[in-house]
Amino acid sequence: MSDADKPQPDEKPVQPEPESGTDTVTEEAPQETTEDAAKDDSRSRSVLREIASGDALSGVLAVFLAVFVGSVMIAATDEGVRETLGYVTARPSDFFSAVWEAISGAYSAMFRGAIFNYNLTEPAQQWRPLTETLKFAGPLILGGLGVGIAFRAALFNIGGRGQMLIAGGAAGLVGSQVSLPAGIHLVVAILVGMAAGALWGGIAGLLKARTGAHEVIVTIMLNYVAFYLLFYALAEDFLFKTPASNNPKSLPMKETAILPKVLGDKFNLHLGFVLALIAVGVVWWLLSRSTLGYRIRAVGENPHAARASGINVGRTYTTVMLIAGSLLGLAGVNQVLGTVSSGVSLDLDASIGFDAITVALLGRSRPLGILAAGLLFGFLKAGGFTMQSSENISVDLVLVVQSLIVLFLAAPPLVRAIFRLPAQEAK
């Protein structure tokens, strides 16, 4: 063999050329597919973990726990369940059957009273319960927005009752004793009520900004001041008092100042719920898309850092409480000019001022969350009456469920421990 025939050390073996018309299969494609699948799986796990550690799931589970405890109370107070408990070891099926009938009967009655009454035949009457739920939800949504926007600025506005009373009284004064053309009368009454509520909330914001007075103490005291101011107004002839009557109640609202019915006279749902939906959109835009919303959120996160960055914290406090008071004032207007237009009375707030705190907490002070929480509480209020009348279950049980929701919302670590959820990630 000659030296020319021997392979040289630097030469590489020649690979055969692929034939024309054939596809080359590379070894890298399966590897890339595996890496993409791993990335997708990691992304899915990240999304699931974010959902599990977020506020929304915690709120839903708090409602679930409250309903579960309420179910236990329904079963414990039912006479049929207590009777079968005496021989549960002999015939346990009777006990579990009685428990199921008690719980399912209660919640089916609540469904019939709040969503759809399938025991009736006329469609208008079947869907009437849903309109009642929306009617109750309107002022709750407005009140929750008023409390929630204050929460976003780290202000605890528990003066909703006072702001509703003052706003309802002012709107009722215009609606019952002022004569204006149709259309203008209603608008003026609404604006006057919102302005009165804003003024009452602004007092707390101004004192917080100028003197550092704690808003919790101020708003609590303003609740009492508003109550007795309205009581005085309803007791005096030259203000609100109905002639020849000893009851602290004003004259009925004039027809030109009543919120119109949305679906006609067969239903009690009025324009107040539409105003609540509009308020949700406005507050969402305000907090998410406006400069003022950025200042509110910055002050709520850290007022010292916000002040260092040039934000006027005191002015923001005052502005937030003015907005919160106007929203709660609109809830009071909703009651006086829509739900109970027969006259202003001392119970016009119907505990909405305090229920709004729960709605804001459940909604995590987010407009859409408050909308969902308001609808839930409207469902509970509307369905509670049917549950009481048809199943002989006290309507106070609804208050117990609401209180349990607050309890579990105030203890998110407890909810996460019960359901073995991951800890909430720091934001």
- How large is the average pLDDT for residues 290-299? 95
- How large is the average pLDDT for residues 303-316? 94
As a 3-state breakdown, the chain gives helix, strand, coil percent values, each rounded to 5, of: 70, 0, 30
139-178: per-residue pLDDT in tens? Answer: 999 999 999 999 999 999 999 999 999 999 999 999 999 9
- H runs (alpha helix) in 335-392: 352-362, 367-391
What is the rounded average pLDDT for all residues in the chain? 85
pLDDT at 53: 43
pTM of the model: 0.83
pLDDT confidence band for 48 (50 / 70 / 90) = very low
pLDDT at 138: 96
pLDDT confidence band for 51 (50 / 70 / 90) = very low
pLDDT at 62: 85
Lowest model confidence (mean pLDDT) among 44-48, 52-56, 312-316, 382-386: 44-48
167-179: per-residue pLDDT in tens? Answer: 999 999 999 999 9
Q: Who wins on pLDDT, 268 or 40?
A: 268
Quickly list DSSP for 151-193: HHTT-----HHHHHHHHHHHHHHHHHH----TTHHHHHHHHHH
pLDDT confidence band for 50 (50 / 70 / 90) = very low
pLDDT confidence band for 394 (50 / 70 / 90) = confident
CA-to-CA distance for 59 and 410, rounded, in angstroms?
10
The domain locations on the chain are: 153-377
Q: Identify the DSSP state of 254.
A: P
What lies within 8 Å, CB to CB, of 217 at 6+ separation is: none
1-32: per-residue pLDDT in tens? Answer: 555 555 555 454 555 555 544 444 444 545 55
pLDDT at 206: 96
pLDDT at 403: 83
Q: Is the model's pLDDT at 267 over the cut of 80? A: yes
